[in-house]
A and B are shown apart, each in its own frame.
Chain A
Amino acid sequence: MSDESVLPLARPMIGVSGKTGSWRLQRPLYDSSKCIKCRLCWLYCPDSTIDINEGSADFITINYDYCKGCGICSNVCPTKAITMAPEG
């Protein structure tokens, strides 16, 4: 990259805007007993805050530091294994 130019570039990094989990009004809650491991929540999460845990009792982990509580995961879940609850 040239030292001469001021460029409109950015590099992706975690948490450049701080912990956006603080923006959340509703919290997704995961019930592993209903989960059929379809991965739709993982695929649809716009902030990539859902991780898959192959072979664990809890198939997914939600990163509450960055989850903004949009509810898309709950909406796409075919078995309602994810439900939304108000933040206390």
Chain B
Amino acid sequence: MGVALKTLTGNYAVATAVKLARVNVISAYPITPQTTIVEKLAEMVELGELKADMIRVESEHSALAAVYGAASGGARAFTATSSHGLLYMHEMLWWVAGSRIPVVMAVVTRTIGPPWNIWTDHSDVMDQRDTGWLITFTENNQETLDETIKLFRITEDERVFLPGIVTLDAFILSHTTEPVDVPDQSLVDAFLPPRKQPYVFRAGEPIIMGNIPRDLKWNMMMREDIDKAMERAKKVIEEADLLWGKLVGRRYGGLTECYRCEDAKHFIIGVGAWVGDMREAVDYLREKLGLRVGLIKIRYFRPFPREDIIKWLNNAMSAVVFDRSVSPSAGGPIFVEVLASLASAGVRTPVRGVIAGLAGVDVTPEDIANAVLTSVSEAEELGTFKQSVLWFYGGE
């Protein structure tokens, strides 16, 4: 199959993927827990294993600006950050997406202060959800590696031409070592076509990007086109999954994966590393308690898998959405978008939003099973949830 198992941390899995994607330009500013991604890449460049330019900068804002410039000039470019660094970059995220320049960024999700906190939480990346970047959450180091490679192909597809973020949970993935299949360079080369982008800045061919529009409707049309491109990306993501599956034998599903859903009446919905713990909880609830529970793993939060959510929850008795971030007074962002998706199709399945694991608070399979069990009992008894949003701390 042309693959070899290696033990890698999540961060080294990202660095390995970036190397295999033959990235030309890398720029980043160090921040825990992202630092070891770029540290590893710097080592690869230094050893001559990766022929790329590393641009040293004074901030995350400049890091993305540098990568954006390089990508505008035709380079395959990469950056990585976390938490406060990502917030500092925020303005540049809009510029890159608005320019329709493909760029790939790894975000090691980390809590935002105050107080200072280095543990995982999805608030940092959720803060970027309206920028026009694709956002994918990964469950383990293997998926992190695979999805990083795939994201270069997806973002550089002419139906998309948008930048993309691959996220991995701080420490739980970024610093945890586990076996990872590292595909052969030849497979990645077969998977990744030469870089494409809508336009390239070249010396002697003057074009202006982002000039004040004469007709404001043009400006609005550009925003609508990003919206359409995001919709078109759904098919591109599925195609990439299929092709990667053919080459390396690993398929994840497109925007979502549904685990033990065939006969499920109740659903858990989640993103990121704790999906693994949710699988354990589903097995436990089914095998020990005989409950027909399924798990919807949202792999891509942007584009949002509206159709998949409607399909799976259409005839469900209940759904419990776990969010690792919150929009104060509105609930978790995944919860809100699941509800909106269902409402758009007239589906009236009761949905509960569980806000848990913020600030890196540990959540075990037992905790998840307990939270789901309480909700399932309530839904079966009342056919609705008395309290739609619940703050859940778990633990002992």
Contacts and interface: CB of A to CB of B under 8 A. Distances in A.
A4 B98 contact: no
Contacts of B99: 7-8
Interface in A1-34: 1-2, 4-12
A47 to B, nearest CB: 15
Contacts of A10: 207-209, 211
B208 A2 contact: no
Given A6-B218, A6-B222, A6-B225, A1 B198 contact: yes
Interface string A46-75: 000000000000000000000000000000
A9 B158 CA distance: 17
Which label, helix, strand, loop or mixed, suits the secondary structure of the A interface?
loop
Contacts of A12: 206-208
A5 B162 CA distance: 10
A12 B232 CA distance: 31
B159 A8 contact: no
Interface residues of B, number: 23
Contact of A6 (B159, B210, B221): B221
Contact of A4 (B161, B210, B224): B161
Nearest to B157: A4
Interface residues of A, number: 11
Contact of B199 (A4, A6, A7): A7
A6 B209 CA distance: 12
Contact of A8 (B158, B161, B211, B224): B211
Nearest to B212: A10
Nearest to A8: B210
B206 A5 contact: no
B377 to A, nearest CB: 49
A1 B161 CA distance: 11
A4 B207 CA distance: 19
Contact of A7 (B158, B159, B222, B224): B222
B31 interface: no
Given A1-B198, A1-B199, A4-B229, A9 B209 contact: yes
A17 B319 CA distance: 57
A73 to B, nearest CB: 24
B161 A5 contact: yes
Contacts of B159: 4
Contact of B207 (A2, A5, A11): A11
Contacts of B224: 6
A7 B208 contact: no
A7 B198 contact: yes
B100 interface: yes
Contacts of A1: 198-199
A20 to B, nearest CB: 14
A2 B198 contact: yes
A11 B206 contact: yes
B93 to A, nearest CB: 15
Contacts of B100: 5, 7-8
A6 B132 CA distance: 14
A5 B210 contact: no
Contacts of B198: 1-2, 5, 7
A34 to B, nearest CB: 35
Contacts of B232: 4
A8 B199 contact: no
Contacts of A2: 158, 161, 198
Contacts of B213: 8
A7 B98 CA distance: 8
B164 to A, nearest CB: 16
Given A1-B199, A2-B158, A8 B222 contact: yes
A83 B67 CA distance: 47
Given A2-B161, A9-B207, 17 more contacts: A2-B158, A4-B161, A5-B100, A5-B225, A6-B221, A6-B225, A7-B222, A8-B99, A8-B213, A8-B219, A8-B222, A9-B199, A9-B208, A9-B209, A10-B207, A10-B208, A10-B209
28 contacts: A2-B158, A2-B161, A4-B159, A4-B229, A4-B232, A5-B198, A5-B225, A5-B229, A6-B218, A6-B221, A6-B222, A6-B225, A7-B99, A7-B198, A7-B199, A7-B222, A8-B98, A8-B209, A8-B210, A8-B211, A9-B199, A9-B207, A9-B208, A9-B209, A10-B207, A10-B208, A12-B206, A12-B207
Which are the 9 A-B pairs with shortest beta-carbon distances? A6-B225, A10-B208, A10-B211, A2-B198, A2-B158, A6-B221, A6-B222, A12-B206, A8-B210
